[in-house]
Amino acid sequence: MGDRGSALCCGHVAETFGCRVANGCGGRDAGFIAHECPQGGMHITAEDLIQESLERTVVPVVPGAGFSV
């Protein structure tokens, strides 16, 4: 996964191609995972996907410490 597109980069693409630009994330093994809504939030698109968010230390979450959304 790469970094989110900066406002400057997304603005340049939108201006150049005359279109709206939104960020998305995915991976080769999982396919498309989430997309950005017009309000700027990221939304998981796969109903059969379990996402584990890691702290900056990249240490996996302790079992039972997570929550469902």
Spell out the per-residue pLDDT of the chain, length 69, in tens.
467 788 898 899 999 999 999 988 888 887 888 888 889 888 887 777 776 666 677 777 777 776 665
Task: State residue 18's pLDDT score.
Answer: 97
Whether the model pTM is above 0.85: no
Task: State residue 2's pLDDT score.
Answer: 60
* Tokens 């469902």, located at residue: 68
Residues 58/65, Cβ–Cβ less than 8 Å: no
Residue 36: name the closest of 68, 67, 7, 66 by CA: 7
Q: Where are the domains of the chain?
A: 23-50
Q: Residues near 11 by Cβ (< 8 Å), separated by ≥ 6?
A: 21
Residues 46/57, Cβ–Cβ less than 8 Å: no
Task: State residue 15's pLDDT score.
Answer: 96
Task: State residue 31's pLDDT score.
Answer: 81
